[in-house]
C-alpha cells in the first residue's frame, strides 16, 4: 500500500522540504497544505500557530496521512510537542541546523536567519545552548522574506534590498556558515548567494536531514538516486490563495 505523507507550512515555503521528501521517498503519496490565509506565522502568537497546526494535522489525517512533516520552523517551534502529545501518528519537525553549522565553521562565527517566532522558541534556544558554547552566533530575522516568496518575487532589486538588510550584518560579523532557519528562505538562495559572493560563506538548509528522518520513521531506506519520481503523487491544498503554491511548486 502506498504511504501517505502530509506536509504543511504557513505558505509555499515548505515546498523546499517537499522537494527533498520527493527525492528521499519518491513512491509516497503527498498531501501538501499551505495555510496561506494565515501567512505569515512569524510574528503570530504560539497559541494561534498551535491551534492552526492542530486543525491542519486533523485535516491531513482525515485525508489519510500516516506521517506528518511540519515543514515550517515557526510551527515546529510553537506546536511540535502538542502535536506529538495529542495524536498517535509520527510528526517530523524542522530542526534548526545549528549543530552542523557549529561543527563546520572555521571563522568561529555562525549566522542564523529565521523568523522571530523560531528565534524565541525553546527548541532553538536549547539547540543553541547545546552546540554553540565555543562559537559566536549572530541572528537575523528575514523581515519580508516570506512575503517575497509568496508573491513570487525572488530576485528583483527590491528582493535584493530586503535580503541584504537581513544578511549583511551576518556577513559583516564574519559568519562563514549561515543556517536557513525558515523553509521559505531556500527559495531566495540564488539572491542570497549573489549578495554573499566575495564572502567565504556556506548556507545550510536542514531539509535533506528532515527528509531522511521521515524515511527512517517510516522504515524506508532513503532512495539513493536523489531523483524525483517521473510523476510524483502530490495534492496541493490551501486555506487561501492557491496561486503562490502552484507557482512555487513548479520551481521544485
Whose Cβ is closer to ligand DGL: residue 39's or residue 68's? 39
Give me the 22-41 binding string for ligand DGL, x by CB under 6 A, dash otherwise. -----------------xxx
Residue nearest to ligand DGL (CB): 42
CA dist., res. 108 & res. 129, Å (int): 15
The residue with cell 510524483 is 232
CA dist., res. 50 & res. 86, Å (int): 12
Residue 124 touching ligand DGL (CB under 6 A): no
Residue 234 touching ligand DGL (CB under 6 A): no
Strand order in the sheet with 67-70: 91-92, 67-70, 4-9, 29-34, 233-238
Whose Cβ is closer to ligand DGL: residue 75's or residue 175's? 75
Q: How far is CA 212 from CA 9, 112, 136, 165, in A?
A: 19, 22, 29, 33
Site for ligand DGL in 98-117 (CB under 6 A): 115
First-to-last alpha carbon distance for the chain, in angstroms, is: 26
Residue 182 touching ligand DGL (CB under 6 A): yes
- For the question of residue 182 being annotated catalytic, the response is yes
21: its cell numbers: 521528501
Choose the catalytic residue: 39, 54, 72, 163: 72
209: its cell numbers: 536531514
Residue 42 touching ligand DGL (CB under 6 A): yes
130: its cell numbers: 547545546
Pair 179, 207: CB distance under 8 Å: no
Whose Cβ is closer to ligand DGL: residue 4's or residue 183's? 183
CA dist., res. 185 & res. 203, Å (int): 10
Give me the 59-98 binding string for ligand DGL, x by CB under 6 A, dash otherwise. -------------xxx------------------------
> How many residues interact with ligand DGL (rule CB under 6 A)?
16
Q: Binding residues for ligand DGL, per CB under 6 A?
A: 9-10, 13, 39-42, 72-74, 115, 118, 146, 182-184
Catalytic residue set? 72, 182
Amino acid at each position: 500500500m502506498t504511504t501517505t505523507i502530509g506536509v504543511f507550512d504557513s505558505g509555499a515555503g515548505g515546498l523546499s522540504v517537499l522537494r527533498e521528501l520527493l527525492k528521499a521517498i519518491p513512491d509516497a503519496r503527498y498531501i501538501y497544505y499551505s495555510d496561506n490565509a494565515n501567512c505569515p506565522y512569524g510574528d503570530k502568537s504560539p497559541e494561534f500557530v498551535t491551534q492552526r497546526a492542530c486543525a491542519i494535522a486533523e485535516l491531513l489525517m482525515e485525508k489519510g496521512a500516516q506521517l506528518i512533516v511540519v515543514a515550517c520552523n515557526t510551527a515546529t517551534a510553537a506546536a511540535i510537542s502538542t502535536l506529538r502529545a495529542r495524536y498517535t501518528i509520527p510528526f517530523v519537525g524542522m530542526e534548526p541546523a545549528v549543530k552542523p553549522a557549529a561543527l563546520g565553521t572555521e571563522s568561529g562565527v555562525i549566522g542564523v536567519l529565521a523568523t522571530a517566532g523560531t528565534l524565541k522558541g525553546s527548541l532553538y534556544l536549547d539547540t543553541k545552548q547545546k552546540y554553540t558554547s565555543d562559537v559566536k552566533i549572530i541572528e537575523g530575522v528575514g523581515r519580508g522574506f516570506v512575503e517575497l516568496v509568496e508573491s513570487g518575487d525572488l530576485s528583483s532589486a527590491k528582493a535584493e534590498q530586503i535580503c541584504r538588510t537581513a544578511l549583511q550584518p551576518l556577513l559583516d560579523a564574519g559568519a562563514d556558515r549561515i543556517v536557513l532557519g525558515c523553509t521559505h528562505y531556500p527559495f531566495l538562495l540564488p539572491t542570497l548567494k549573489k549578495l554573499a559572493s566575495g564572502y567565504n560563506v556556506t548556507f545550510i538548509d536542514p531539509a535533506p536531514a528532515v527528509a531522511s528522518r521521515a524515511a527512517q520513521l517510516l522504515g524506508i531506506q532513503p532512495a539513493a538516486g536523489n531523483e524525483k519520481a517521473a510523476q510524483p503523487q502530490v495534492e496541493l491544498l490551501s486555506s487561501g490563495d492557491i496561486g503562490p503554491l502552484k507557482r512555487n511548486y513548479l520551481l521544485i
